Amino acid sequence: MRNVAFFLGILAVVVAAAWFDVQNRVYPIREGLDLKGGVRVVVQVDHAKMQQMGQPFSSGQIVQVRDILESRVNQFGLSGTDVKAKGDDQVEIQLPGARDPEQVVGKLITTAQLEFRWLKSVQSTRSPTARYRMEVAHGGRGQPDIYTFYEGDKPVPEQKILEESELILTGRDLEPKSVQDTEMQTGKIVVRFELKPEGARTFADFTRQHVNEFLAIVLDNRIISAPNVNEPITQGQGQIEGGFKTPQEARDLAVLLNSGALPVPLQVIERQEVGATLGAEAVRASIQAGLVGLGLVLLFMLGYYLLPGVLANIALLFYAALTFAIYKLMQVTMDLPSITGFILSVGMAVDANILIFERLKEEMRSGKTLHSAIDAGFSRAFSSIFDSNVSTWITCFILFQLGAPLIKGFALTLAIGVAVSMFTAITVTRTMLHLLVNWEWARTERLFGLGISWLSFRLGQRHLDIMGRRRLYLGFSGILVLTAIALLVKPGLNLGIDFTGGSQVQVTYEQPVADHELRAKVDEVLTRHGLRDARVTLGRTPLRWTRLTATGGEVADTVPPELERRLNDLKGAESVTVKKEGKTLSVTATYASEHTQPEFVSIFSQLGIPNPQVNVSPPEETRPSPVVFVLTKLANTDEKVKAVYNDLRELPYGAVRSASSQTLIGPSVARELVRGAFFSVLLASLAIIAYLGYRFAIGGFVNGIKFGAAAVVALLHDVLFAVGVFAVMGALRGWQVDSFFVTAALTIIGFSVHDTIVVFDRIRENLRNRLPRETLIDLVNRSVTQTFDRSINTSLTVILVLLALLVLGGESIKPFNAALLAGIAIGTYSSIFVASPLVVLWERASQRSAAEARKKEDVRLQSRPAGTPRPARPRPEPQAAPVAKSGAVERTAAEVAAKASPVAPARPAGRGTTTIRPKRKRRS
């Protein structure tokens, strides 16, 4: 009854999750730029404001601006956002389906210039005769304090007070550790900060010398707090009380302070809606291919595992419903990296069930009842599932903490998926299996596929001799790695525009046109000019048309050309015609943006045009106009780029001249992303080595390190192989390494570690249940044989999905799917033919080293001078006779006898089980 109640409870949760999944109108899933598109915003350096501030601008500052915006995107958690430099003074930001893009962009482009200023001209307890007097109107909860300054009874602008103040510290003196907090006594929302050592010393010196004077905290030239220095502050810590209305406002300020101030002010100059970067056709084809792949996985599990396969398929559907519900609740942005993390977690969910079912089959082959086999199978599979999932979580945690938004989405979805997969495998599948025990028909051995195996013989009757040919396999892998390294040197990787930057062609059309028709026309143009590898994105932008008709009196001959120039300089100028007919001046103009009559009247007045009659039609807003964005690695000055731009403007949809451009763009994958990914993987590898050293410490932590090191070597082997494949395909087919490839590499790493640990776990288990006179080579061969079916089946389930995506999916992501396919295949190979032989080589090297050390010690003792007494060796404590020993691993007969669980069978005869019995002494 308990299993029935538990299953019904799980079923209720899954039904609720499935209902939540289909409520897309009320609870929509956040789709990224890859799938749905979003909002494209172009911000530009505000040169007018910089001139007012008297600050110079250099084109190199735009790279710094881009990096700071990328950091803010990272800390705000805007997964899937794309940020890249455009030209010398612009940055393009693409937000994936943001609910309030104006508010988000407003936060991102806030300058966030923080300053600490000494209000030396303001009266205080210490300086009662200073020039200015300050009055404070304290705001209520969530309201800022209002500071008013007077000279006598005359109000003084705040800006004048700041001009006469003295700068003490800036935001550059803060450690990037600012956090939002709430004061316990007052309930005020504050931002706590910590100063760098040099800033802390400066602050301490200032507060010692200026007790009972005012210190202003200034954000973007506005005083947000002006506390009195009550006592010296020497700990280098403080807080900002800015009258925050909500904790979110304080958190936003903390993010801005941690990311650093922008070196220049920015302003929004362009805003457009953009379509999916993969293209609607690619998205639709990939969804269909994914469904086909999922169907193939379900059929495979049903055909190979029979009745347990049915349960695995049900558990997989439960898993999908629960995972998507969590994605929705957590507002995870589903872009290509996130979907890849989900696909990998699906493979791990299937793998958990495969592990359980293979152990279940082993236990049933050993003669156990179905009920006992279920408990033993789950118990023995748990350590493999736990260790592989913990290693994956370690990797995800480090990638999420140190990675860029592109990597964060992958890490988050993978971590969630692995957690849910572990729950469904351990609870859902187990509960359903126990429910089956109650039916007689379900206890038939044929329904569990005991005779089905890729090895075509029963486990335990024969073993694969992988270790006997280890030098062959390791030699082959060494050749693969060296070849990959050579290919990296020549021809090298074909880096995509995400890494190199290049040119962007943007053309806006006045006439409406269907996306598929426009994309077909664009593809024709690109093919004609040999730019098939260019990236195409379609979008929509609203245009507000302004039409001008004007007349004027007689003017000098120099006025019409100057008037035409000024009218053309206005934003959105499409067509401007200025004619002088006798004594009359006539003007007609059309603008694809909003303008008002006073703007034109002012221009006419400045040029001294007599009797101007200016008529401006009210702005007409048309339905969103189609926009084409073409990204290519070629330089902006390349003739092919110019030809593509001209041909796109000639398409029969009425190109809008003022809303079309040809621009230089910077790379969207910053060096920080690549560097962050590298250090994240390096740190994750070290963490995995440490964790496996702890979990596999049979004979000590150092002895367990060999398992972690071997897993990391196999991981590097797999990534290098995938990189080598891309180097070859880049030379042969023009495949480019872009941001998607970074995601593919991370996926390969996750799969490689997961797959290897499962094999290592069986080696660890067999070391604890070693057969008599079994060598280490025989033990590892037995372990690899026992996990062979599981390794093949797990990789097959993932490969079936990837094959469907490769054959049926969108053309634009075929290189991405091919990289995943190559990585998953080589990951399965390395876990069997690389990682395990490395453990054997390390162990045998340790044994040889220990033997040589003992030999040297014996030689030293034998060469002692004659008559020297032989050093007494300590008498060992009485111990049970050892049964088997390998390096640091030793088992005794007493330990084996105390072990309750049965060991793996060694060549069983007939259907009986094989056990180890103590050897009887022969009677004398």
Q: Dump pLDDT digits (tens) for 661-677.
A: 888 776 665 565 666 66
Residue 826 has pLDDT above 70, yes or no: yes
Q: For the chain, what is the total number of helices (H) and then of strands (E)?
A: 26, 27
Domain 280-443+468-490+671-845: state its class: mainly alpha
76: tokens are 């705000």
The topology under which CATH files domain 544-621 is: Alpha-Beta Plaits (3.30.70)
Q: In the prediction, which pLDDT does 921 show? A: 44
**Winning range, highest mean pLDDT, from 609-618, 620-629, 915-924:** 609-618
Over residues 732-757, the mean pLDDT reads: 80
Residue 421 has pLDDT above 70, yes or no: yes
**How many of the other CB atoms lie within 10 Å of CB of 206?**
19
**Contact at 8 Å (CB) between 357 and 52?**
no
**Contact at 8 Å (CB) between 421 and 429?**
no
Give the Cα separation of 178 and 74 in Å (integer): 15
Give the Cα separation of 15 and 18 in Å (integer): 5
Q: In the prediction, which pLDDT does 478 show? A: 93
Residue 374 has pLDDT above 50, yes or no: yes
H-only helix segments in 586-738: 597-606, 639-649, 671-695, 701-733
Residue 168 has pLDDT above 90, yes or no: yes
The topology under which CATH files domain 502-542+624-665 is: Alpha-Beta Plaits (3.30.70)
The topology under which CATH files domain 114-261 is: Gyrase A; domain 2 (3.30.1360)
Residue 208: pLDDT band with limits 50, 70, 90 = very high
**Winning range, highest mean pLDDT, from 133-142, 237-246, 651-660:** 651-660
Give the Cα separation of 507 and 425 in Å (integer): 52
259: tokens are 């990311």
138: tokens are 């304290």
Q: How far is CA 149 from the centre of its chain?
A: 49
Residue spans per domain, the chain: 2-109, 114-261, 280-443+468-490+671-845, 502-542+624-665, 544-621
Residue 457: pLDDT band with limits 50, 70, 90 = very low
H-only helix segments in 366-458: 370-402, 405-423, 430-436
Q: What H or E segment, with its residue span, contains residue 549? A: strand 544-552
479 or 439, greater pLDDT: 479
Q: In the prediction, which pLDDT does 167 show? A: 93
Lowest mean pLDDT, pick from 121-130, 442-451, 504-513, 567-576 = 442-451
What angle in degrees, to the nearest 10, is found between the helix axes of 739-768 and 776-808? 150
Q: Return the exposure string of 702-737: e unless at least 16 CB atoms fall within 10 Å of the residue's CB, then b.
A: ebbbbbbbbbbbbbebbbbbbbbbbbebbeeeebbb
Longest dimension (CA), the chain: 140
**In this structure, what DSSP letter does residue 637 have?**
T
Q: In the prediction, which pLDDT does 406 show? A: 63
DSSP string, 128-140: TT-SBEEEEE---
Domain 2-109, CATH: 3.30.70.3400
Q: In the prediction, which pLDDT does 243 show? A: 64
Nearest residue to 447 via CA among 436, 455, 438: 436
Q: How far is CA 252 from the centre of its chain?
A: 22
103 or 205, greater pLDDT: 205
**pTM as predicted:** 0.66
Give the Cα separation of 699 and 768 in Å (integer): 11
Nearest residue to 815 via CA among 735, 898, 899, 907: 735
9: tokens are 């409870």
Residue 900 has pLDDT above 80, yes or no: no
**How many of the other CB atoms lie within 10 Å of CB of 261?**
19
Residue 898 has pLDDT above 60, yes or no: no
- Pick left, alpha or beta for residue 187 (phi over 0 → left; psi -120 to 50 → alpha; otherwise beta): left
**In this structure, what DSSP letter does residue 147 have?**
E
Measured over the CA atoms of residue 750, residue 752, residue 755 and residue 758, the dihedral's sign is negative
Token pair 């379609």 is at which residue? 538
What is the CA angle 901-787-393, rounded to 5? 90
Q: Return the exposure string of 439-473: e unless at least 16 CB atoms fall within 10 Å of the residue's CB, then b.
A: eeeeeeeebbbbeebeeeeebbeebeebbeebeeb
Residue 12 has pLDDT above 50, yes or no: yes
Token pair 């260790």 is at which residue? 387
Token pair 């994105």 is at which residue? 537
Q: In the prediction, which pLDDT does 66 show? A: 85
Residue 230: pLDDT band with limits 50, 70, 90 = confident
Percent of the chain at pLDDT > 90 equals 14
Q: In the prediction, which pLDDT does 923 show? A: 43
Nearest residue to 716 via CA among 673, 753, 744: 753
In total, the chain counts a number of residues equal to 924
357: CB partners within 8 A, 6+ apart: 305, 308, 309, 312, 377
Distances (CA, A) of 681 to 616, 685, 746, 811: 61, 6, 8, 29
Same fold, 114-261 and 544-621: no
For residue 573, give the 3-state DSSP assignment.
strand
Residue 551 has pLDDT above 50, yes or no: yes
Over residues 278-302, the mean pLDDT reads: 78
